[in-house]
């Protein structure tokens, strides 16, 4: 890659100096200054010339630029108004980029997709996400049931490991199941702190989420399923039986035991030992008992 690209230490420094740009801690701004990392993100994202891409938090345009080179069209959501003139400058040679000054958490992304991309175009999300708000962003995108092929994001290593975890591991929890309900999750690469300006305090990873056509399990009531699953992890050292008794206060212990027996799940187990299929069976059994 040639040095003219934004993602080099010298070019990034030059742009920041030109605009006297000061990083805002509250926005979790860490810009990538290594072109090889961007190449890896693109490789794992599987973006090609037929694809539309949504980016969240383009910063000064390092990743945006590479996406524009490899994809058909890029739509980037940027919340920091100070970056808009910078992006206009750094990305002026690319006609296939649309920068929207919007908060992704409040945006109607369905509408944006309808307006900005072709019908039935394969759409990917590729982003270096602000670490302090990773989970709310990803959960919004998944709950909105957007027509996406995949989501490839740079996030905090520990969070990536939780999202891609397997049962019976320390990282496995309610976040794991929430993410894997909608996607196949995989940590594709770990990234050193040195590829960022400024350097974050935490290690980073690239996480790839491939959207499922159908949720991993079909349940009678989604909100109830998520409630039971969350409650099962409320106190990790407690048994399933104790956590559920606290959560379902309208149900006496005998009835709870009856449901556990019926769905063939040992109440003495801990939440982290249950697969997503077992949680679905458990939630449906409890839902039927409560709702008749």
Q: Which two tokens stand for residue 18?
A: 């030109």
Residue 103 marked as a ligand binder: yes
78 is an annotated ligand-binding site residue: yes
Quote the DSSP letter at residue 170: T
- The answer to whether the annotation marks 243 as part of a ligand binding site is no
Residue 32 marked as a ligand binder: yes
| 13 alpha-carbon distance from chain centroid | 29
Assign residue 275 a region (left: φ > 0; alpha: ψ between -120 and 50; beta: otherwise): beta
268 is in an annotated binding site: no
- What's the number of CA atoms in the CB half-sphere (13 Å) around residue 287? 17
Place of tokens 């008749």: 292
Q: Tell whether residue 168 is among the known ligand binding residues.
A: no
Nearest to 240 by CA among 217, 264, 222, 219: 264
Q: In which order are the strands placed within the sheet that holds 150-156?
A: 97-100, 73-77, 52-56, 123-128, 150-156, 204-211, 183-191
Q: How far apart are CA 38 and CA 41, in angstroms?
A: 5
Q: Report which of 108, 117, 112 is spatially closest to residue 72, judged by C-alpha positions.
A: 117
- The binding site for S-adenosyl-L-methionine consists of 30, 32, 57, 78, 103, 128
Q: Which residues are annotated as a binding site?
A: 30, 32, 57, 78, 103, 128
């Amino acid at each position: 890659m040639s040095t003219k690209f934004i993602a080099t230490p010298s070019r990034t420094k030059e742009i920041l100096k030109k605009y006297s740009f000061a990083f805002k801690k509250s926005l979790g701004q860490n810009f990538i200054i290594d072109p090889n990392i961007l190449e890896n993100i693109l490789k794992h994202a599987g973006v090609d010339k037929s694809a539309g891409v949504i980016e969240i938090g383009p910063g000064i345009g390092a990743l945006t630029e590479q996406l524009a080179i490899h994809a058909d069209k890029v739509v980037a959501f940027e919340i920091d108004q100070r970056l808009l003139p910078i992006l206009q400058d750094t990305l002026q040679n690319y006609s296939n980029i649309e920068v929207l000054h919007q908060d992704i958490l409040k945006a109607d992304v369905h509408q944006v997709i309808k307006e900005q991309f072709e019908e039935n175009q394969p759409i990917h999300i590729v982003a270096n996400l602000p670490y302090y708000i990773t989970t709310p962003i990803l959960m919004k995108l998944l709950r909105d049931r957007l027509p996406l092929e995949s989501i490839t994001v740079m996030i905090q290593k520990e969070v990536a490991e939780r999202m891609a975890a397997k049962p019976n591991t320390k990282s496995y929890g309610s976040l794991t199941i929430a993410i894997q309900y909608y996607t196949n999750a995989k940590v594709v690469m770990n990234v050193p702190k040195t590829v960022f300006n400024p350097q974050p305090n935490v290690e980073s990873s690239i996480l790839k989420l491939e959207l499922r056509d159908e949720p991993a399990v079909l349940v009678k009531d989604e909100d109830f399923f998520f409630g039971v699953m969350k409650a099962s992890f409320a106190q990790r050292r407690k048994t399933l039986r104790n956590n559920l008794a606290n959560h379902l206060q309208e149900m006496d212990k005998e009835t709870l035991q009856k449901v556990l027996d019926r769905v063939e799940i040992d109440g003495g187990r801990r939440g982290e030992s249950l697969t997503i299929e077992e949680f679905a069976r458990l939630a449906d059994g409890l839902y039927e008992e409560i709702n008749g």
